Amino acid sequence: MGSIKNEFAKDINPNHEQIPLLESLKSYSNTDISCFDVPGHVKDQGVEILNRYFGEEVMKMDINSSPNMDNVANPKGVIKMAQKLLADAYGSDEAFFITNGTTQAIHCMILSVLNPGDKILLPRNIHKSVINALILCGGVPIFVQPEFDYNLGISLNINPDRIERALEENKDVKAVFLLNPTYYGACTDLKRVVEICHKKGVLVLVDEAHGAHFPFHFDLPPSGMSVGADMAAVSIHKTGGALTQASALLVNKKNIDYKSVQQSINMMQSTSASYLLMASIDGARANLVENGEEQFSKALNLSRYAKSKINKINGIKLVSTEVLESEGVEFIDETKLCINVKGLNLTGLEVYDLLYQNFSVQVELGDLYNILALVSIGTTKKDIDNLIEALSIIAKTHRKNDSLKELNIKQINPEIKLKPREAFYAKKESVDIDKCANRICAESIMAYPPGIPIVSPGEVITEEIIDYIKLLKRNNAYLTDMKDKDLNTILVIKEVILNTVK
């Protein structure tokens, strides 16, 4: 392989048939070179069991940075060129490869714009990574409740009017953080939100973990970059086809110092970022640009086919475009199949288990009322037919007589007593769950997936929250992030603190 020169880093007319990083990695892996650097398996020479299970080609491509392969901390060659192509594909000014998932992208995004004490406006149904980012930077959350669908038992998205009112009430907010889409595919009128925020000099940060596919088909919702958001964290692996943990941070430079973003990334990202993950973004980007419209046309057709069949099953309802009638929902991602199973008197958690154990069907999640199935570029009609058949059998053979109405799912909006960072570092004690009412929580508790905190550090635990946690426990939800894995106790602030966040 010839030397990769810095000409690759110059501004060029984008040619998305190019896969500079993936191609260079493949070429380097085939080079006859004696390696005295990390990783210690030295291509396919050291660990035969990994060669057998992963394949020799994968092991050869698991490398560290070298003169020809560039360095993600200060890219000047093939990585810089690949990132420029990614930025062009997503319509952003800059794009940064992230190798620890969109969790890390969100951390870097927030750290690069918030100083300790800065306020950020955000929905209550955010991923735990946002709260953890605020612990890291000392930011102050101002929550705005998203709309809630009581039939589905899920939060949707935020009405732009609520954001505008919240900004009037909190004139010192520095940034607004939004989901595009929510876990269940609901999108607000993001363009209007951007207009509202920018008129007030407020930044717009977007969690687009589940919207990596949006720019590549006209029937999908608008992406954050396309409507002028300042930054977006995008899970290329979730819906774009890259390897797991491969993500990106997209930046529009008008209001953002992108060099500060790079500094935040260098602080948070490993100095041994995976070339397999970064190269998979390069390949996925080329595929999305070249084949995305065709592949997502197929995915959307499969989603609509699934809806037509599943809605004929007695007791099951596939809800998609109907939620457009809800406030705060301007667009819906039809590739996310939110399947309401409440009519079977089964929880979504029970149906999730039945699908996997009895029918070898793996869906994204089950909650108390629904299951969520994702249709992607790799989904086949056979996969869809297997899902339809399995649900049909479950509806006939596992329907229960007992009603689920007593679940009474509703939106929880805890009171904030301490900033997340203050709560994280405060003295703590574990207290019996039945004695935690009116105590300040010192940990995050959530069902995973999707990883949305029921209660977070600094929030007041109420009887309502305790009842909801017990409800999830009774229904075998997978609860995570708490110190006591059985959740008989909750970690709370040791001293009683009465002053509220200012």
6 pLDDT above the threshold of 80: no
pLDDT band at 411 (very low <50, low <70, confident <90, very high): confident
Q: Where are the domains of the chain?
A: 293-407, 420-493
Per-residue pLDDT reduced to its tens digit, 53-75: 999 999 999 999 888 899 999 99
Sequence-ordered strand ranges (E) for 295-440? 317-319, 331-332, 336-340, 365-366, 370-374, 428-432
Report the range of poorest mean pLDDT among 113-117, 138-142, 201-205, 480-484.
Answer: 480-484
Cα separation of 329 and 331, whole Å? 6
3-state secondary structure of 373: strand
495 pLDDT above the threshold of 80: no
What is the pLDDT averaged over residues 354-361? 98
Given the candidates 1.10.390.10, 3.30.300.30, 1.10.645.10, 3.90.100.10, the CATH classification of the domain at 420-493 is: 3.90.100.10
* pTM of the full structure: 0.93
Per-residue pLDDT reduced to its tens digit, 300-353: 999 999 999 999 999 999 988 888 788 889 999 999 999 999 999 999 999 999
498 pLDDT above the threshold of 50: no
DSSP string, 408-420: ------PPB-S-H
Please state, rounded to an integer, the average pLDDT across all residues of the chain: 92
**Cβ pair 248, 96 in contact under 8 A:** yes
CATH for the stretch 293-407? 3.90.1150.150
Examine domains 293-407 and 420-493 and report if their fold is the same.
no
What is the pLDDT averaged over residues 117-126? 95
For 57, other C-beta atoms within 10 Å of its C-beta total 13
150 pLDDT above the threshold of 90: no
